[in-house]
Each structure stands twice: as structure tokens, then as C-alpha cells.
Amino acid sequence: MPDFKVTELSDDVDFDNLPYWDVVIIGAGPAGLAASLTTAHRALTTLVIEAKDRAGGQPQFLYADKRIVDIPGFPDGISGEELSQRTYRQAVDALVQFRFNEELAGIEDTDERVNEEPLKRVVTSKGEYLCRKVIIACGLLHFPRRLPVLDQLESSNVHYKNPKIGDYEGRNVAVVGGGDSALDAALMVLGRGGQVDLLVREQTPIGKGDSLQQIRELGGRVHTATEIASARFSGDRIELTLTSGPSLLCSLAIVQIGFLSAKDTFQRLNLTLNDDGSISIDPYFETSRPGLFAVGDVHGDIKLIAVAWAEGIQAAIHAFNEITSPYWLNEKRLKDHKIALIGEKIARAASRGAVRK
């Protein structure tokens, strides 16, 4: 028997003037989108905060054109971009609300209460939102590292993810970075008849040696021990001045220099973390701070889209149950939470004792 029936939110809800949200979700990747669908289908007002300019998370930003073949229901596979667009459209149809280009700054406890429950205040780079529950689904990697020397151009021809094939096919492309993502981007361009200048800050690229060899065999130019000193427009192209010598012209630039870790954000939120920097949770996906849940890559070992979906759904159901059930019905869950934290402390103490020996 299903645990609920879909309850649609009313079209006349004034989302711009809500005194508080039932649930605020941090991150619009697979876990966050699945959680938002689940809460909205239970008639909870739901707001999703996303640091990027669109929904989708890693499937959208890291492998938009790649066909994903391990998701049930898509026997021929589905691209990361199409999967992201489908899930986002489903959330919008369920009246989930989104705020893009907003980064999480903090989550504060407040003295304001609803049904004897204290509200949280989610603080972002653009605003503040009161809510009853928070689900953190932003992933361990927040966003790509930026390159200010290129950002100042404010050009749509500067990419931090692999662009669409039509954007680079047969063109001159500068790829910045020496890791596997940068080498893969260079090979992608070369495979479509483009010309590549690979700009590597290190003396030796850290990516796979066979990828580097293939880039050279396909005619890619590799510049090591170099950085971009300045950038400017030259007609309809970008002129890059390199620290290692002469400038070069390119139609577009693809920057792949790593990602900023979310660990600093988690520490700022005063959450208990695991040894690897991920968020510690109890069996109900709740963190060490009551009312804050965490799903997906922020805590999990199995980083698959299907797992992220499942965790987002489960956390959303637990949040729904806490919102709609009397407090005393949650006593067992609170007891389990305390037991889990005690077990964690005992395990850590035992681990420290073993190290001393």
C-alpha cells in the first residue's frame, strides 16, 4: 500500500509572500530534485536554492552529452542534460519554487515557532528564508573553480563545463587545466575537428599519460608551466597573453581546473562530519542539528543517480512526517538519533585508542 497519495499544491498559493516555507532544499541536483518532488507532492511548500544558473547538478554540468545507461526505465540510455530537464520540468509542474545563482551562506536557529517547532533561517548570497525543515543536497563539490582573468570578459564563450558540440566544432579552443577533465575536454574538441591549445600550469599534466599522448597525436598544442596573464577581445575572438611567451587567439575557452570543496560550508553550518569531510547522518538522514537533513554525495559512499534519488525521497518523507505528526510520535526517531550519535562517539574513541597502541 502506498504511504500517500499525490496532493497538489494550490495554484493560488502566494509563494512570494509566504511567512515561512515548509521545506528549503539546498541543491538542485538529482537528490535535491527528487526530494523537492516528494515534499511538493505532499502539499508542502518547497523552495530549492541552487548556486548555479540551472537545475541538474553533475549530470547537467559535468556530462550533459554523455548517455547514462544505468538508470532503470531508459533501456537506450539518456543524456545528462535530458534527464536534468525532465526532472526539473516535473518539479516545476509540482509547483516547486527555485532560486538560481544563490549560494548558501548559513543556516540559523530562530526563536520563531510553528506548532511548538522552532523555525530555521536559511541565509544565502541574495536573501533569507524561514522554514521548518532543511534538506542539504548540494553535493561534495559545490561549483567549478573560477578563473578571474577570464571571468572579467563576461563572455558566453568562456565555459566551465563541456559546451554543446555546435559551440566548438571546427573552432580554435583554449582548454585550461592539466587533469583528466581538461584532457577529456581537449580530446572532445579534437574529435570534432577543432584545434586545441591546452594550457597547463604545472610542468607536467597530472592527467592520464595516454590521453596526453593522444592529444599530441591529434595535433593539439600543449603549453606547460604556463598561465593566462591577461585576456581581451580581438574582434570576435579572445586573445590570451600567456606567462610563458606569445599570446594566442581562440574562439572559446573551456576551464577545467577543479572544484571547490563543500567541506568549509559544512563546518560553517556547525555539523558533525565524518573523517572524509562528508556530513554525518542518522538512519533518518538527519544531521547532528535537528531539522537539517543531508542526502546524496554530501554523505554517501555510493555516488549514483538512482541512489541520490532514493535518499532524497526518504529524507523528504522523514521531513514530512516530522512536520505533520505530533511531537510525541517522533520520540522513537529522536531516541534512535541519540543512540546513533552515542555509537559514533564510541567508535571514534575506540579508533583513537587503537591508533595510540
How does pLDDT run across 170-218, given as a tens digit for each residue? 899 999 999 988 998 999 999 989 999 999 999 999 999 999 999 999 9
Does the pLDDT at position 135 exceed 60? yes
CATH numbers and ranges of domains, the chain: 15-143+260-324 (3.50.50.60), 146-257 (3.50.50.60)
Other beta carbons within 10 Å of 180: 14
pLDDT at 259: 74
Does the pLDDT at position 127 exceed 80? yes
What is the C-alpha separation between 183 and 206, in angstroms, rounded? 10
Does the pLDDT at position 222 exceed 70? yes
How is residue 296 written as a grid cell?
A: 546524496
pLDDT at 30: 95
pLDDT at 252: 94
Percent of the chain with pLDDT over 90: 62
> In Å, how far are 26, 98, 144 from 51, measured between CA atoms?
9, 11, 11
What is the C-alpha separation between 275 and 288, in angstroms, rounded? 15
Question: When comparing pLDDT for 85 and 275, which is higher?
Answer: 85
> What is the SS3 assignment for 279?
strand
Residue 45: exposure state from Cβ atoms within 10 A (0-12, 13-18, ≥19): buried
How is residue 158 written as a grid cell?
A: 568562456
pLDDT at 237: 95
What is the C-alpha separation between 336 and 339, in angstroms, rounded? 5
pLDDT at 291: 94
pLDDT at 1: 39
Q: Which residues contact 202 (CB under 8 A, 6 or more apart)?
A: 178, 224, 225
Mean per-residue pLDDT, 106-117: 93
pLDDT at 326: 60
pLDDT at 145: 81
Q: What is the pLDDT of residues 296-351, one digit of tens each?
A: 988 867 778 899 999 999 999 999 999 987 655 555 555 565 566 566 667 666 66
pLDDT at 55: 94
pLDDT at 60: 84
